[in-house]
Chains A and B, each alone.
Chain A
Amino acid sequence: MKKLALVFILTLSVIALSACGGKSETLQMLWWSDGTEGAVMQTLLDDYETETGDVIELVTIPYDDYETRLATMISGGEAPALARVTEGHLNNFKDNILALDDVYTTSGFTNLFYNTDDEVISLPMDITANGMFVNTTLLDANDVDYPAPGATDIWTWTEFKTEMMKLDGETGVAYPGLFDSKAHRMMPLMYQGGVKIWDTPYTTSNLKSAAAVGVVEMIMDLYTSGLLSPEPYAGSNAANLFKTGQYGFHLSGNWNVSGYQDITAFDWAVVPMPQGLNRATILGGKSLAAFDGSGLEKEAKEFIEWMAEGTQHDLYTGGVPYLTPRLGATVSYGDFADEYAVFLDEIANTDAMYVQDWLAQVMIPGMYPIINDFAADIADPNNTMTALQLLTQLETDLKAVAPTN
């Protein structure tokens, strides 16, 4: 018993000693990764340390609990110096984030986010866009026509459905295709149908217009006709399902270009999304923010200034499965160049008013989850509400959380 107690005390002492000698001057950067982003950022952090002597520790947190961790650190007085953030994080923590107008040339970037004083609060690191992946092996085997990646003759949703329905019931086909059941993937279809959410922001919406009803009815038809998998798990695991080779298409985003590199059982390609009245995609993206209360605010700003320089920024976007938000950048996307060209073409063919309409939603607390729920309701095979009823409910819910002034 005495020996056991002695061993135990020694163990605790070793742990206690290992906890000491802390790296108090080390900056912490909160991070999550979907693929190669962490490794690419670590390489840049190593370069930064060599160049300046400043050590930045990359703290990787599971995405699902990222916000919990960030909130606890800020509330507990241990704010990280830097953190990778989404639009939602920027909105939720904007009071704790440092303004960066005097840190880097903000006019050189797109997808900027502002605080209530109209100050830029992050450095855009990457942007995402929606696009259409197709399993060319499966499509070719079933004589399904689809546009070539560089095609200028863009197909319509009616043509798309007619062609893809050729897969329905064929051997080795679970469903013709998959949509991610997220707001980001549904909203391009609304914009393609010419529907902006707001006519006059937060007071008059276009959600009950005939055009909006038409788009939602079309999406509901894609599910009820058997074109899209209605399984509840399909929308949130669409990428994993597409990898099985049993689906003809996947409406997703450019991050899957790298995620699909390990597919060896079939060939795939990125093709232009079908169009409605016009073409449209919507942007997402991640930024880097510096936090107030870390005690290392000056050092954090210095890193952002360094990171905003073209060389460093292009090294990052060239190594991750995303697009660059740096205006005028000539990023080499390497093996992904052909696929990324399609996404860049989608962005180039998207009217700026739709981009602005979407950004107006994601920065208002509560709006994005409401649109997410709406997207899930459309996909739900047990939904009994009509398109107009769903849109009316959406309008009511959005207005309930909209700013009042």
Chain B
Amino acid sequence: MKNKLTAQYILAFLIVLVFLIPVIYVIASSFKPVSELFVASPTFFPKNFTIENYVNALKRGNFARYIFNSLLVATTSTFLAVVINTMSGYALAKFKFKGSTIIMIVILSTIMLPLEVIMVPIFSVLKFFGMYNSLLALIIPAAATPTGIFLMRQYLITIPDELIQSARIDGASEWKIFTHIILPNAKPAIATLAIFSFMWRWNDYVWPLIAISDPDKYTLQLAIANFSGEYGSDYSSILAMSAISMVPMLIIFLIFQKQFVQGTVQSGMKG
């Protein structure tokens, strides 16, 4: 039994290593001088440690602004996504009404449309509502996501109907049931949704590329992509800013990791 457990730990460690090595390599390489980045036999860790890449990258743009924009977009859209997706998921999981199945199928079917296909229509809608070139263009369309609704619905189905029914018998209003019974019980799924939503918005590139024109409204990912030109890419700056861009995700995950694991297991959600 003990040997089996040890083998499992070793296997888990190896799998973690496989996923971690690229991340560590990016961070380690961000401290390498350019001459060490492009060699026939590159070393894993820098031979000559330097923070020059960070200094040069930060000089090439208003990165404090880009990080602020990314944080603003990611936090506000995550808050909205949690509120709207939880409410939608709850309605589809616990309220029996005509057409609920069709609505769910329609919502799920939108997952099958890649952004590139609906880019122009969404662009036109944003323009119609006057949101083009505004951070709202990055926040509002992300407020309700089919994946988020699906995740919350799947989790909320597992909450016993009896719990809701007995609250109704005790005279609780629907709002009170949602805020005092559903939300506390859905914490793991909410944490999962929050992490995924934050990650999606933080890493989003294509949508900000289309919706934002003003350099003062650039997100971090958009700014990093500008290190690539027609004739080549400034990989040392890309590595430095990519390493910085990992930090907020790491913090969010460390805060919510317990609920994230629980929510992922119970909702059957995969990254």
A interface, CB within 8 angstroms of B: 1, 4, 8, 11-12, 15-16, 18-19, 22, 28, 32-35, 57-65, 68-69, 72-73, 75-78, 86, 174, 237, 239-241, 243-246, 253, 255-256, 259, 262, 265
CA distance A18 to B137 in the complex (A): 12
User: Are A11's CB and B76's CB within 8 A?
Assistant: yes
User: Are B229's CB and A35's CB within 8 A?
Assistant: yes
B19 within 8 A of partner (CB): no
User: Are A62's CB and B225's CB within 8 A?
Assistant: yes
CA distance A59 to B218 in the complex (A): 10
With A59-B215, A237-B38 as contacts: A34 and B231 at CB distance below 8 Å: yes
Complex interface bits, B126-155 against A, C-beta within 8 A gives 1, otherwise 0: 010011111110010000000000000000
CA distance A18 to B134 in the complex (A): 8
User: Are B228's CB and A63's CB within 8 A?
Assistant: yes
One of B3-11, B94-102, B117-125, B161-169 contacting the partner: B117-125
> Can you name 14 A-B residue pairings with CB atoms under 8 Å?
A15-B72, A18-B135, A19-B133, A28-B213, A59-B215, A62-B225, A63-B230, A64-B228, A73-B123, A75-B120, A75-B123, A239-B231, A244-B38, A246-B39
Contact of A246 among B40, B124, B235 (CB under 8 A): B40
Contact of B228 among A15, A62, A73 (CB under 8 A): A62
User: Are B232's CB and A240's CB within 8 A?
Assistant: yes
User: Are B136's CB and A16's CB within 8 A?
Assistant: yes
| 3 A-B pairs with the lowest CB-CB distances in the bound complex, closest first | A19-B134, A34-B229, A62-B225
User: Are B72's CB and A11's CB within 8 A?
Assistant: yes
Complex interface bits, B31-53 against A, C-beta within 8 A gives 1, otherwise 0: 00011011110000000000000
Instruction: Apart from A8-B79, A11-B72, A77-B124, list 16 A-B contacts with CB within 8 A.
Output: A19-B136, A33-B229, A34-B229, A58-B215, A60-B215, A62-B222, A62-B225, A63-B230, A64-B225, A72-B123, A72-B210, A75-B123, A76-B120, A76-B124, A78-B132, A256-B231
How extensive is the interface on chain B, given as a class? 35 or more
B226 within 8 A of partner (CB): yes
Q: Taking the nearest CB of chain B, how far is it from the CB of A173, in angstroms?
A: 10
User: Are B228's CB and A259's CB within 8 A?
Assistant: no
User: Are B229's CB and A8's CB within 8 A?
Assistant: no
Complex interface: chain A residues within 8 A of B265 (CB): none
Chain A: which residue is nearest B229 at the CB level? A34
Interface residues in B180-233 by Cβ distance below 8 A to A read 206, 209-210, 213-215, 222, 225-226, 228-232
Complex interface: chain B residues within 8 A of A35 (CB): 229
B179 within 8 A of partner (CB): yes
User: Are B131's CB and A62's CB within 8 A?
Assistant: no
CA distance A15 to B80 in the complex (A): 14
User: Are A76's CB and B215's CB within 8 A?
Assistant: no
User: Are A259's CB and B231's CB within 8 A?
Assistant: yes
Most central of A237, A240, A253, A262 by chain B CB within 10 Å: A240
User: Are B127's CB and A34's CB within 8 A?
Assistant: no
Q: Taking the nearest CB of chain A, how far is it from the CB of B255, in angstroms?
A: 16
CA distance A187 to B133 in the complex (A): 41
CA distance A75 to B123 in the complex (A): 9
CA distance A75 to B124 in the complex (A): 9
Complex interface: chain A residues within 8 A of B133 (CB): 19, 22
Complex interface: chain B residues within 8 A of A253 (CB): 231
Complex interface: chain A residues within 8 A of B136 (CB): 12, 15-16, 19
Chain A: which residue is nearest B80 at the CB level? A8
User: Are B209's CB and A241's CB within 8 A?
Assistant: no
Contact of A239 among B120, B214, B225, B232 (CB under 8 A): B232
User: Are B139's CB and A174's CB within 8 A?
Assistant: no
User: Are B209's CB and A68's CB within 8 A?
Assistant: yes
Q: Taking the nearest CB of chain A, how far is it from the CB of B81, in angstroms?
A: 12
CA distance A176 to B130 in the complex (A): 57
Complex interface: chain A residues within 8 A of B139 (CB): 12, 15
Q: Taking the nearest CB of chain B, how far is it from the CB of A375, in angstroms?
A: 15
CA distance A22 to B213 in the complex (A): 12
With A15-B72, A34-B232, A76-B123 as contacts: A244 and B226 at CB distance below 8 Å: no
CA distance A150 to B119 in the complex (A): 53
Complex interface: chain B residues within 8 A of A12 (CB): 76, 136, 139
With A60-B215, A246-B40 as contacts: A19 and B131 at CB distance below 8 Å: yes
Complex interface: chain B residues within 8 A of A65 (CB): 206, 209, 225
Q: Taking the nearest CB of chain A, how far is it from the CB of B226, in angstroms?
A: 5
Chain A: which residue is nearest B218 at the CB level? A60
User: Are A244's CB and B35's CB within 8 A?
Assistant: yes
Contact of B34 among A8, A22, A78, A240 (CB under 8 A): A240
Q: Taking the nearest CB of chain B, how far is it from the CB of A181, in angstroms?
A: 13
Q: Taking the nearest CB of chain B, how far is it from the CB of A17, in angstroms?
A: 10
Complex interface: chain B residues within 8 A of A15 (CB): 72, 76, 134-136, 139
Q: Taking the nearest CB of chain A, how far is it from the CB of B111, in angstroms?
A: 22
